[in-house]
């Protein structure tokens, strides 16, 4: 996946123009920006991305331009308090009642090789580690971690930000009928990498899918060889028939996935579960399946079903570490 923020930075550095990368590293209470939010700004005020918007962002864009005008080269840690009673120098101009900490990181044309490596890692989905500390920033190709980002605050001198890039949350959409196509279209708007699968190479909703980053035609029984495990891997099963749903679920249910959802009526899901139990699938594996898939908003059309599925994926994606996931709904097993 490409990232418009880093691509913008690369274009500006290639033209000999420095930029500032601003990113949210920590928050407390209610804040518009969350850890990992980023914006890149140049000397003319052109920018890509967001750190939460509002007057706070406008003020910090100006601050970044001042850094560039002054020729600052060291990262700066900034505190923004969203409360009118905060110290004047920390007031963000917002009244959300929370606090967020941000880094303003100058990047110069001398940083272009490292930035080019970031862009390549992102476009080729190869992991790498972005590290920022008071001395500057660096990118280590090939490094990976189960944690997306880690902030060591200023109380533990020196402060440090570590973020894994090039490992996007990937949703594997199994089944490329009308619902599968709608799911790919909706998820493509959410900064997610989408891979579409079907066992029918010629079906229109598969060949005409322009929203998936990748399309794979294969027997559903072979899915296990193509879907990676881990905290960045999500699976959506929306095939067109009972037997293909069962085959797809059986192929991936043993994998360690962040999310596994199955579309269907409660009656069909119970029958699929009976089939898998008869084949030796343990109850604890079936219990992790979100079925029926999606948040229950009463969807009927493929587009509405896609919205409910996307909402459930967002809910899981933003679930705080250690918090239990939403339990299966009654009647699904």
pLDDT interval class at 134 (50, 70, 90):
very high
pLDDT interval class at 19 (50, 70, 90):
very high
Could you tell me the CA-to-CA distances from 143 to 148, 150, 182 in Å, in that order?
12, 14, 34
pLDDT at site 333: 38
φ, ψ (nearest 5 deg) of residue 283: -60, -40
The 8 Å CB, 24+ separation contacts for 16-19 are 16/109, 17/42, 17/43, 17/109, 18/42, 18/43, 18/68, 18/106, 18/107, 18/108, 18/109, 19/68, 19/106, 19/107
**Is residue 86 predicted with pLDDT exceeding 90?**
no
Give the least confident one: 109-123, 137-151, 168-182. 137-151
pLDDT interval class at 332 (50, 70, 90):
very low
Distance CA 290, CA 163 (A): 29
In tens, the pLDDT along 235-259 reads: 999 999 999 999 999 999 999 999 9
pLDDT interval class at 309 (50, 70, 90):
very high
What value does the mean pLDDT take over residues 163-181?
Answer: 95
Return all residues near 98 (Cβ < 8 A) that are at least 6 apart. 27, 28, 29, 30, 31, 82
Burial class (CB in 10 A: 0-12, 13-18, 19+), 45: exposed
Answer whether 82's CB lies under 8 Å from 144's CB.
no
What CATH number labels 170-317? 3.40.50.720
**Is residue 72 predicted with pLDDT exceeding 60?**
yes
pLDDT at site 52: 87
Task: Provide the token pair at 258.
Answer: 């962040």
Burial class (CB in 10 A: 0-12, 13-18, 19+), 20: buried
pLDDT interval class at 145 (50, 70, 90):
confident
> Angle, to 10 degrees, between the axis of helix 4-14 and the axis of helix 112-123?
150
Task: Provide the token pair at 171.
Answer: 């949703």
User: Mean pLDDT for the chain?
Assistant: 90
By C-alpha distance, which of 55, 58, 22 is closest to 41?
22
**Is residue 90 predicted with pLDDT exceeding 90?**
no
Sheet holding 160-165, edge to edge: 136-141, 128-133, 160-165, 149-152
Based on DSSP, count helices (H) and strands (E) in the chain, helices before strands: 9, 14
pLDDT at site 321: 65
Task: Provide the token pair at 84.
Answer: 């009118």
> Angle, to 10 degrees, between the axis of helix 302-317 and the axis of helix 178-187?
50
φ, ψ (nearest 5 deg) of residue 172: -95, 110
In tens, the pLDDT along 261-271 reads: 999 999 999 99
**Is residue 225 predicted with pLDDT exceeding 50?**
yes
Burial class (CB in 10 A: 0-12, 13-18, 19+), 70: exposed
Say if pTM beats, i.e. exceeds, 0.85.
no
**Is residue 95 predicted with pLDDT exceeding 70?**
no
**Is residue 310 predicted with pLDDT exceeding 80?**
yes
What value does the mean pLDDT take over residues 214-229?
Answer: 94
Could you tell me the CA-to-CA distances from 249 to 12, 109, 245, 261 in Å, in that order?
47, 49, 6, 9
In tens, the pLDDT along 279-307 reads: 999 999 999 999 999 999 999 999 999 99
- Helix, strand or coil, per DSSP, at residue 26: strand
By C-alpha distance, which of 300, 280, 296 is closest to 331?
296
Going from N- to C-terminal start, the domains of the chain cover 4-163, 170-317
pLDDT at site 56: 82
Answer whether 166's CB lies under 8 Å from 129's CB.
no
pLDDT at site 20: 97
Answer whether 290's CB lies under 8 Å from 252's CB.
no
What value does the mean pLDDT take over residues 28-50?
Answer: 90
Sign of CA dihedral 277, 280, 283, 289: negative
In tens, the pLDDT along 318-329 reads: 887 666 666 555
**Is residue 68 predicted with pLDDT exceeding 90?**
yes
pLDDT at site 174: 98
């Amino acid at each position: 996946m490409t990232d418009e923020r880093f691509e913008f930075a690369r274009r500006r550095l290639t033209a000999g123009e420095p930029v500032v990368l601003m990113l949210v590293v920590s928050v407390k209470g209610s804040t518009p920006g969350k850890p990992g939010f980023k914006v890149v700004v140049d000397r003319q005020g052109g920018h890509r991305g967001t750190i939460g918007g509002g007057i706070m962002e406008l003020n910090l864009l100006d601050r970044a331009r001042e850094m560039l005008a002054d020729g600052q080269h060291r990262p700066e840690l900034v505190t923004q308090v969203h409360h009118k009673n905060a110290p004047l120098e920390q007031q963000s101009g917002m009244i959300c009642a929370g606090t967020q900490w941000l880094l303003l990181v100058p990047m110069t044309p001398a940083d272009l090789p490292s930035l080019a490596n970031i862009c390549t890692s992102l476009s080729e989905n190869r992991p790498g580690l972005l590290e920022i500390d008071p001395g500057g920033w660096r990118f280590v190709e090939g490094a990976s971690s189960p944690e997306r980002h880690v902030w060591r605050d200023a109380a533990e001198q020196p402060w440090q930000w570590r973020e894994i890039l090039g490992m996007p949350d990937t949703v594997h959409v199994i089944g490329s009928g009308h619902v599968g196509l709608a799911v790919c279209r909706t998820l493509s708007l959410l900064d997610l990498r989408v891979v579409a699968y079907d066992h029918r190479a010629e079906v229109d909703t598969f060949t005409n899918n322009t929203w998936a980053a990748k399309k794979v035609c294969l027997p559903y029984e072979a899915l296990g060889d193509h879907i990676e495990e881990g905290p960045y891997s999500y699976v959506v099963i929306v095939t067109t028939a009972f037997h293909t749903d069962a085959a797809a679920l059986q192929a991936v249910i043993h994998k360690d996935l962040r999310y596994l959802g199955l579309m269907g009526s409660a009656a069909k899901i119970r029958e699929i579960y009976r089939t898998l139990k008869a084949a030796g699938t343990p109850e604890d594996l079936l219990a992790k399946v979100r079925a029926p898939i999606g948040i229950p908003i009463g969807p009927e059309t493929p587009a509405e079903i896609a919205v409910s599925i996307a909402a459930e994926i967002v809910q899981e994606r933003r679930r705080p570490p250690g918090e239990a996931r939403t339990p299966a709904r009654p009647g699904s097993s």
